[in-house]
Structure 1
Amino acid sequence: MTRWWLSGLAVLLLWLAYGLSPYIALYRLSQAVQAHDAAAVAQRVNFRTLRLSLTRQALAAAVDAIAARRDLSARERTILTEASGALAGPLVESLVTPETLIDLLDDGWPVRAGLARRTPSGGAGQGGAETEVTGTDAPPPPETTGGLGLHASTVGQLFALFRSSEPRGFRGMVVSYPPDRPLENRFRLRLRLRGWTWRVVDLELPSALRERISQRLTGAMQR
């Protein structure tokens, strides 16, 4: 009887450890981001799958932006997607580095990748035009006010992420953050368990960032 009780307790503890493990991984990733520890971030990210994901999102955003201005047949969309792939590659490469990923996860905007932030030039109520500001001292754009970074350093923040998480089988999980923002302003981060380590394998970008990447690509295609 005691043996069965101990076996059941061991299974329960293992299951509890498994259930907590992705959130521990998120906590450690958040700590690495706050410490700007590129090596620790690199250990927790599958850059190959992340690069493929961001390339797919960048191409889709650019093609959709062009298609919104003129009708494209299915064949034309395919040709445009293939042609823009060469332009998307360098931009995605600049996004998928430990340093730029830290920038992206920290506040939701990859300034290091050269994606300008928009800020009003004429001030509130003056009807000023928007200008683009680059550099680490640039103020956050309106769509990122309040912070779009990954914050998982406190019990409250981890619980909020738990409420916004979705299981993907036994070895996968998707976390939508920040959980208090509208869906179109959230990131969707997918973790996958490989061996004993949860790694980031996918990051779905919010609409504002996809739009800025689309503008960058369509501008390059029109040159």
Structure 2
Amino acid sequence: MGYVPLGAVFGYLLVQAGAVWWMAPLTSLLVFAGAAQFMAIPMLAAGAPLGSIVLATLIVNLRHVFYGLSLLDKLPQRKLARWYLIWALTDENYSVITTLPAGTSSTRMVAVAMLNHGWWVLGTLLGAAIGLQAPTALTGIDFSLAALFAVLTAEQWRATRRPAPILLALASYGVARWVAPSQALAVAIGLCVVLSAILSRSSSSNNNKSMEAST
């Protein structure tokens, strides 16, 4: 149900940016990509071309490729269920699905994704309705997305106690902010992907050497 207030913020901001009310729930129904939807609001308001929005969405959601790779053995075999779960694999759905007990049915995983999708659309619709009635813009509520990711980061830390991913993300954003301030997020995501792949390969190589030494 945490999707409801967050979706409401998106719907509210989109209507306040000048969009017609039905565009908010329609976007959430067809796109269902929270961070990318928030990112698209100022781009739509500024009249950015569709190609630029598509490219920015691809970059922001590039992390979902790695989400999917880690779930290949858990995805449903039925085509319709499999494709829906791939499409609906948001940060929150991934967090929930990866904590489900081993042997959880594909029907339950799809039901979780559909439930979250429904909450998101409902929240967006409520936010759009509020945006139509609000006389002035409520500044600062868009920070709820940053707050959500802060909570997810804290939960990941509590679950793994591994400082490396957090430090890597902070360092990547620091470099990106210095090199390309206007595209800091996209550059930081790219750096994180590249550095994570390098560190993962190095870790695998060290593990293989350790196994060879022990044998």
Give the TM-score normalised by structure 1.
0.25
Task: Pick the structure with greater CA Rg.
Answer: 1
Give the TM-score normalised by structure 2.
0.26
Tell me which of the two structures has the higher relative contact order, counting C-alpha pairs closer than 8 angstroms and 6 or more residues apart. Answer: 2
